[in-house]
Amino acid sequence: MMTLTIGVVGTGNMGQEHIRRLAGVPGAEVVAVSDVNAEQAKQVAETVGARAYSDGHDLIGSDAVQAVIIASPGFTHEEFTLACIAADKPVLCEKPLAPTVDACLRVLGAEAAESRRLVQVGFMRRYDDGFRAMKETLDGGQIGRALLLHCRHRNAVAPPGFTSDMMITDSVVHDIDVTRWLLGQEIVAATVFKPRPSSKASEGLLDPQLVVLETAEGVLVDVESFVNCQYGYDIRYELVGEMGTASLGELPGVHVRQQGRHYGPIPADFRERFGGAYQSELQEWVTGVLRGEVTGPSAWDGYATTAVAEGCVQALTEGRRTVVELADRPALYA
């Protein structure tokens, strides 16, 4: 089997998890890791016999590295993705592609100039069996045209320093991407409603939030983002069509009825809930790159999601409906 030599930029939690998962991906070999925390990079490198760098640009420039995974903080994604494009190396960039629309447009421009796809963005829900089955159901016509999509995106406890804006830019971005992918439509407007905050939320954190998205063909999507729900990591979707519904997440895992009680598991966090999706995402990315193809979520998807997220943050801040207007879609992403 052919081998793809991979460099991983960022050896924090996500980087380490990707490295662990790549050990189970046939054809993948991690040959280099980088982090500004040089000691951490060295320790992680030793676990897989890879070379350690303190600068991601040196890793990207290494002839030993054929493809790159970016798992460093979001504000570094633009520079490292641009460096991969300049080096003509396929890159899987963790979400977001970049935190701002302007930065995303710079990446789009660089990739479009190459006239071939090199960039994939880490929207792993598209690789989840449940979400894929929901899309197959809709595309198969069993429930007719979509009318409404109800999304529940709940985390047990928010990490320290989590802000009201991050509830959108770090969490709801996944629901934005799923909406675009599932419905095959762009999002054209956003409104954010703010119920009274939970007493479990940190001071000043507007948690929960209810985000209402409008699609180009008139579907309404409501996303409840609740990052301090206390009881677990709970992702539930109900797609409402003209002739039926499709839902996921209501009863994850095995449920037990015993002695007058009914109980079942709730995942602790997104790593547990989407472990299989991350594995499939990596496997399909490696297989595709070895075939000379990058077929997952594109830089356009990354740009459009960041643009919608910016619109949601504006709606949150200004307390009113915000129209989202996208740039013209380059032919590369048709």
Closest distance to ligand ISE from the beta carbon of 11 (Å): 17
> Nearer to ligand ISE by C-beta: 127 or 270?
270
> Nearer to ligand ISE by C-beta: 70 or 110?
70
Residues that bind ligand ISE (CB under 6 A): 155, 170-171, 174, 270
**What phi and psi, each to the nearest 5 degrees, are found at residue 210?**
-120, 110
> Nearer to ligand ISE by C-beta: 237 or 270?
270
Contacts of 288-296 with C-beta under 8 Å, sequence gap 24+, read 289/4, 289/66, 289/67, 289/90, 290/2, 290/4, 290/27, 293/117, 294/90, 294/117, 294/118, 294/119, 294/120, 295/117, 295/120, 296/92, 296/120, 296/121, 296/123, 296/126
Closest distance to ligand ISE from the beta carbon of 248 (Å): 15
Closest distance to ligand ISE from the beta carbon of 18 (Å): 13
143/139 Cα distance (integer angstroms): 9
Closest distance to ligand ISE from the beta carbon of 134 (Å): 17
By C-alpha distance, which of 202, 95, 124 is closest to 158?
Answer: 202
Closest distance to ligand ISE from the beta carbon of 43 (Å): 23
Closest distance to ligand ISE from the beta carbon of 105 (Å): 23
CB atoms within 10 A of CB 271: 13
Residue 311 near residue 190, CB atoms below 8 Å: yes
> Nearer to ligand ISE by C-beta: 171 or 298?
171
Residue 228 near residue 200, CB atoms below 8 Å: yes
State the residue number with the nearest CB to ligand ISE. 171
Closest distance to ligand ISE from the beta carbon of 229 (Å): 11
> Nearer to ligand ISE by C-beta: 111 or 310?
310
**Torsion over CA: 272, 297, 291, 113 (sign):** negative
> Nearer to ligand ISE by C-beta: 164 or 171?
171
> Nearer to ligand ISE by C-beta: 111 or 177?
177
Beta strands across the sheet bearing 91-93: 51-53, 28-34, 4-9, 67-70, 91-93, 119-121
- What is the token pair recorded at 194? 């703010």
**Residue 252, preceding peptide bond in cis (omega within 30° of 0):** no
